Amino acid sequence: GAALALAACSSGAPSADSSGDSGGSDNKTIAFVQGVAGDEFYITMQCGIEEKAKELGYTVTTQGPQKFDPTLQKPIVDSVTASKPAALLVAPTDVQAMQAPLEQAAAAGIKVVLVDTTVNDPSFAVSQISSDNIGGGKAAFEAIQEAKPDGGKVLVISTDPGISTVDARVDGFEEATKGDSSFTYLGVQYSHNDPATAANLVSAALQKDPDIVGIFATNLFAAEGSATGVRQAGAKDVTIVGFDAGPNQIKALQDGTVQALVAQQPSTIGMDGVEQADAALTGGSVEKEIQTGFTIITKDNLSGEGGDAAYKST
Ligand code: T6T
């Protein structure tokens, strides 16, 4: 099973665990199930969840699978369902595989809020909160366009098909490439959320097409691996635009390995998630869908607004 994840948030200690509370109207427990443990995006989201939960009088437990993998996430969700928290905030790892386990959680009377990712039919969820992922993919292409105004070949490194967020980023990017005929879209390759695999894919792609001018890496681990791959290939003039802004990504931006980052607002997603769960539990008005924004970070705004968008780490 997954260990309880404790995050080092700036706003005080993580809240207590939920042992002993098992349903009923006085149930003030929220379970958070991350897409993957140890990912700064979900750690930052956890901080937002804990902060808002404390304010509204809930206790939070956080767990995540060791890999971004529904076969590992499903048993965690099943055990959370059995423990009957009042609400479940969850980032499903696959649009299809997590459908039934989450429907079961909702059928057990748990208020399910989808944070970050979603599933094919989210109608069982009281609310879903995520970034504008299509817009983020489009913004990533615009950052490449700005760095490489003459155009050229562009490649996307994503994680796995079936993850709603990264799929939407790929779609947004691909759609944007169609609007500028000076660019050639080489398609998407999948790294299974493993930086070493992403690095190998990028090295191989640069061997095949040494004239690649830009790479869009659709999440933290894809960005980390893409930067390594470009470095290993000794390619000097490839623009990498990454999604997410963990400490490694910020460092890569400072080093000049990565030229731009699309930073999400994971803390806000978490806080909104708790608010929606609370509204559902107390008969307040619930928003079915909330879209949060993003910030483009480059070296130029890193010390200001861009720097504020950086994620927390453990
Ligand atoms: O990009 C985030 C998240 O939005 C996505 O669903 C999965 O990857 C991250 O957690 C970053 O690693």
Question: Between vectors from CA 270 to CA 289 and to CA 40, what angle results, nearest 5°?
Answer: 125
Distance (Å, whole) CA 309 – CA 285: 29
Q: Which atom of ligand 1 is nearest to the CA of 222?
A: 12
CA of 41 to the centre of ligand 1 (A): 6
Ligand 1 atom with the smallest distance to the CA of 36 is 10
Mean pLDDT within 196-225: 98
Contact 190, 209 (CB under 8 A): no
CA of 155 from ligand 1 middle (Å) equals 19
Closest ligand 1 atom to the C-alpha of 264? 4
Interface confidence, given as ipTM, is 0.99
Half-sphere exposure of 245 (CA within 13 A, CB side): 27
Residues 6+ apart with CB under 8 A from 21: 27, 28, 29, 59
**CB 221, CB 201: distance < 8 Å:** no
What amino acid occupies position 52? Answer: K
User: Is any atom of ligand 1 closer than 6 Å to the C-beta of 44?
Assistant: no
**Residue 128's closest CA among 136, 116, 140?**
116
Q: What's the gap in Å between 21 CA and the centre of ligand 1? A: 31
pLDDT by residue (tens digit) across 68-77?
999 999 999 9
219: Cβ below 6 Å to ligand 1? yes
Examine the pLDDT at 23 and tell me if it is beyond 90.
Answer: no
Q: Residue 201: is its pLDDT beyond 70? A: yes
Q: What's the pLDDT tens digit per position in 282-313? A: 999 999 999 999 999 999 999 888 888 999 88
**Each residue's pLDDT tens digit, 245-278:** 999 999 999 999 999 999 999 999 999 999 999 9
